[in-house]
Chains A and B, each alone.
Chain A
Amino acid sequence: MLSILVGVLVMLVKMGLVLAVVFGLAAYMILLERKLLGRMQVRYGPNRVGIFGLLQPIADGLKMLLKEDIIPDGVDRRIFLIAPAIVAGTALFAFAVVPFGPDFTVFGVTIRQVIADANVGLLVIFGLSSLAVYGVALGGWTSDNKYSLLGGLRGAAQMISYELALGLSLVPVVMLSHSLSLSDIVAAQARLPFALLQPVAFAIFIVSALAETNRIPFDLPEAENELQAGYHTEYSGMRFALFFVGEYVNMILLGSITAVFFLGGWHGPFLPPIVWFMLKVLAVPVFLIWTRASLPRLRYDQLMAVGWKFLVPLGLVNILVTGAILAAGM
């Protein structure tokens, strides 16, 4: 009885911690992006609220809360209200299977630094990222606005297409680690991260993950200059903020799964595991921001061509080569 209570307590604390850290990181990721983009464009970025503008995320949050929340006439109310929650929710749920560090023991209780070590963790992440398409597509469709609809359609097509390449790039990882559990995948990289063993898969993963998070140069669902704001044109106030924060939570999630699948998770010399994990997680969003400052947006047909004609075949060939080498090794 007591052990169950302790287990529930530990689980609640872990969930609370992860939620707080992820939301905090997402808020400050927005600040980091604005700051970094500013410096790359030879300007300062936000520096008015607090020292170095550190209170900017709080000011932004307050502003979003106090803004009028408009629900246009003619929208499908229920779906309109749910869509942002789907985007933010699916991104948050995926953190349940991400391992943050090795097990440790406190007062005789072994604590695993993962909320739920599902033995199909990889499939859980894929399932949730497929569900995220619903948020974008429904948000665009339900808004009763042609631009939003176009943005939502583009988003759905793009996310589904790149989901395939993403899946194919992770097959070699599963082949090498013999497991779908994220903890086992991290354990398999104790000596060498998969980024070095599978550079091609890593490259495909990064490119298609960029497209999955709708980041520049693949931000066609938003495409401010042709679609106003794309699928979230009609959203305002906190509902828009949910879409927005969802994007940044997605960036952090992307950082975590990149760290888990390719960068060796929490493994690393000298520093404590959780620090290594955080460093690897943060490296990916910084790279995404750097990419945003550097590359122009692709045309839609170019985007689709890269996905279907290049990344998917390359992923298949990579799987074949990996399989052949593994078979030869045995």
Chain B
Amino acid sequence: MEDKNDKPGLLREVVDGATGIIGSYAATLTHLFRKPVTEQYPEYKRPMPARTRGRIILTRSPDGKERCVACYLCSGVCPVNCISMQSEEGPDSRRRAAWFRINFARCIYCGLCEEACPTLAIQLTPEFAFSKDSIEAFVYEKEDLLVDHGGKDPDYDFYAHAGVAAGRPKGEHIGEDEPVDVKSILP
């Protein structure tokens, strides 16, 4: 009889329960008349952030030459070993990839190859929708990967900053000091 201190009365419980149930019905009813927030994918393609990790490309330097110097760093860092290549020397005595192959069926789009690349050649693009009917079609050769632009960093030119004297003579690279004539600094 006396222990009514914290137990709500029957009427109170009924009212609370009823308002709770009616409240949830009302909430769904109001949502029924809202405009859906769904993006209708094939009709509307949301612009993806520039750094989205999707399909991989091989970019070119501002002078239109291949950036890739076939250093094998991307291939070495790739956790699933989906990148393979063969280096060779081109006619302009630059290093380049004789062939370059990415198996997108294995690629996990981790972006480590892009991190490892010293020449900014290999880059991940926001393009994610390139499904195929056959698994062989996922093996992309150099011709499929190579694009004719600079990707995210169009102005960067590796051979302007570094590299052997294939493009420019010694001391001509950006940020490079004149070659020191060691005989001039002898005591």
Q: A residues engaging B (CB < 8 A)? A: 36, 38-44, 290-291, 293-295
Contacts and interface: CB of A to CB of B under 8 A. Distances in A.
A159 B31 CA distance: 32
Contacts of B37: 42-43
Contact of A43 (B24, B27, B28, B36): B36
A290 B27 CA distance: 11
Interface of B: 21, 24-25, 27-29, 31-32, 34-38, 40
A294 B29 CA distance: 9
Given A290-B25, A295-B21, A295-B24, A40 B36 contact: no
Interface of chain A, main secondary structure: helix
**Most chain B beta-carbon neighbours within 10 Å: one of A36, A38, A42, A44:** A42
A24 B31 CA distance: 28
Contacts of B34: 42
A36 B24 contact: no
A44 B32 CA distance: 10
A39 B36 contact: yes
B28 A294 contact: yes
A287 B30 CA distance: 15
Nearest to B24: A294
A190 to B, nearest CB: 31
Contacts of B40: 44
Given A295-B21, A295-B24, A290 B36 contact: no
A65 B40 CA distance: 29
Nearest to A291: B25
Nearest to B42: A48
A39 B29 contact: no
A41 B27 CA distance: 10
B36 A44 contact: yes
A40 B32 contact: yes
18 contacts: A38-B36, A39-B31, A40-B28, A40-B29, A40-B31, A42-B31, A42-B38, A43-B36, A43-B38, A44-B36, A44-B38, A44-B40, A290-B28, A290-B29, A293-B28, A294-B27, A295-B21, A295-B24
Contacts of B32: 36, 39-40
Contacts of A44: 36, 38, 40
A29 to B, nearest CB: 17
Nearest to B30: A40
Contact of B36 (A36, A42, A294): A42
A80 to B, nearest CB: 37
Contacts of B35: 42
Contact of B25 (A38, A43, A294): A294
Nearest to A289: B28
A40 B33 CA distance: 8
A15 B37 CA distance: 44
A290 to B, nearest CB: 6
A39 B24 CA distance: 15
A43 B39 CA distance: 9
